Amino acid sequence: MPLNNNIPAGELATKWEKYKSTCKLVNPANKRSIEIIVVGTGLAGASAAATLGELGYKVKAFCFQDSPRRAHSIAAQGGINAAKNYQNDGDSVYRLFYDTIKGGDYRAREANVHRLAEVSGNIIDQCVAQGVPFAREYGGLLSNRSFGGTQVQRTFYAAGQTGQQLLIGAYQALERQVALGNVTMYSRHEMLDIVKIDGKARGIIARNLVSGELERHFGHAVLLCSGGYGNVFYLSTNAMGSNVTAAWKAHRKGAYFGNPCFTQIHPTCIPVSGDHQSKLTLMSESLRNDGRIWVPKKQNDTRKANEIPEEERDYYLERRYPAFGNLVPRDVASRAAKERCDAGYGVGASKQAVYLDYAAAIQRYGKIEVSKQGIENADAATITRLGKEVVASKYGNLFDMYEKITGENPYEVPMRIYPAVHYTMGGLWVDYELMTTVPGLYALGEANFSDHGANRLGASALMQGLADGYFVIPYTIGNYLADDIRTKAIPTDHPAFLETEREVRSRIEKLMSIKGTESVESFHKRLGKIMWDKCGMARNAAGLKQAITEIQALRKEFWSNVRIPGEIEEYNPELDKAQRVADFLELGELMCLDALERNESCGGHFREEYQTEDGEALRQDDKYMYVAAWEYKADSQFELHKEDLVYDVVHPSQRSYK
């Protein structure tokens, strides 16, 4: 059955404008009697809840943290893209659209990506109005820097803490609506299932994480803004609480899951240091603006970085991709680092790392400062000191973070980095209106699959989350709710609420009754190892088949031998974790199945059997130019539906950054 993506007719550049002019509206008096549930209060959720509250809807917002300010969006460091062309370097809405489609290796939907590029400029204006302290040039204009996969400077930033500053802006807007009574905030609540009535999403079952009680909540529509599922790999750059539960429960209730195998590996993370680690730390992609990535030219070189002379260093990204150099997209940079380390050129104790070096940038900036300050005959020490001051003003908090974690000063010695799981391009399948295959159930931000294809360009996650929340959902949800204004609030003692709550309670009781011998954490670690080894940066058919068998066996073992201390009706973080890991154990199998079914390489999905002579991803457009949308049938049973991707404006070609 072909999926209806509800893309409006007409020219690509006018679709969104035409949609906004012709979609149905809900008048202000009617909005006051319509209830909307928002699950998750990161950038997508906070911006959506604030905007819908501002419009007059009755909004209930749920987050499992103690405050929306703890959402994982705060961890985004480097910036947010927008096509404002402040640098006058050739940027435009079309070029942002084109870079995003190409960066995603031609596996994204044109209409959604063009809309994203169109509204990008509005996001910056909105955030400046909220007081987000973006970096500025000397004359007061907002500053921009470069990110991977582009040849223009379009990334707006606030030092190395852009996500945090943007979230504070959205959070303030949200809290204003809470104070006005338009939004009711439920913190320390986790959604454990959606409630469907007559086929439509009409509410959720949530667990109060402090008391352990289950609660029933009605909504005319439900918005899932619950982030990505990178923690299926156990070690990732995600916060340890990040999980797939909200999206997965929706999937089990009929929402198709789109492209689950499309995982992004970020090339600049602090390398794994041992088995004791529970998460990895990201070093912003913005560091690739000025940092140069290299390895020794000699295999198994044991010398310290500063002892290796310039002529014995291999700046392999600059060598292989001269047009983009260190700013190639993330999937390309990650695979190149893996290739060098696998070939025996890795550095550090583990040999699973490469260098990110700021020595040249410090000298370059130092000489510019000397010139600016009119210092004649400056000595080397002065140039270095001034250069370090400039680097500190741009990236200081990132450098401090690196030194705290590793004990090494990156102003003096190169950083060591290695790829790690970061973002998931896959997610719940949504149409042009961001609605899933369940009417009334929407997915925003990283929770949906829609805008990034097989590889997200850096600084585009913040852009998509805020675009969906501030500028897309206010229109598209009205188009749906306009037909719902006569629907009165459904009492939560309706049989569908009672039955769904009973299912949730029964699952919790089953988990608590196992009383096995192995901790939740150990199952999660074992799943992560299977996923990273066999469905990580490189995949092959044999490994994926093994992974599916191993995950099924691990899941069986989990449900017979997991140990969860404590009680149900109390604060019990181990129980919360167990429910999330149980969902990861089901998702992991689907990811491997999706990767096995897609017999090509594209973006972050690299099947070893499908590569060009020089090791680049080899797509098969004639067979796989579609979104894989999976329908849940039963445990280990999924049905594939395909949404064909039609390119009217951009013509797919072999991606080249050379």
Do residues 420 and 269 touch, judged by C-beta distance below 8 A? yes
Angle (nearest 5°) at CA 165 between 160 and 171: 155
Do residues 170 and 43 touch, judged by C-beta distance below 8 A? yes
Calculate the alpha carbon distances from 98 to 72, 324, 464 in Å: 28, 16, 15
Strand, coil or helix: what is 304?
Answer: coil
Q: Any residues with CB less than 8 A from the CB of 296 and at least 6 apart, and which? A: 303, 308, 312, 313, 314, 345, 347
Q: Which of 196, 289, 282 is nearest to 496 (CA)?
A: 196
Do residues 146 and 79 touch, judged by C-beta distance below 8 A? no
Amino acid at 140: G
Q: Which of 330, 416, 456, 539 is an active site residue?
A: 330
Amino acid at 32: R
Q: Which of 477, 467, 432 is nearest to 450 (CA)?
A: 432
Q: How many residues appear in the chain?
A: 658
SS (H, E, C) 339-361: HHHHHHHCCCCCCCCEEEECHHH
Rounded to whole angstroms, how far apart are CA atoms 108 and 464? 13
Helix axes 573-597, 495-514, angle to 10 degrees: 100
330 is catalytic: yes
Rounded to whole angstroms, how far apart are CA atoms 189 and 649? 44
Q: What is the DSSP letter of 31?
A: H
Do residues 248 and 586 touch, judged by C-beta distance below 8 A? yes
Calculate the alpha carbon distances from 543 to 66, 202, 261, 344, 607 in Å: 40, 41, 14, 23, 10
Rounded to whole angstroms, how far apart are CA atoms 573 and 485? 40
Amino acid at 571: Y
The set of catalytic residues is 330
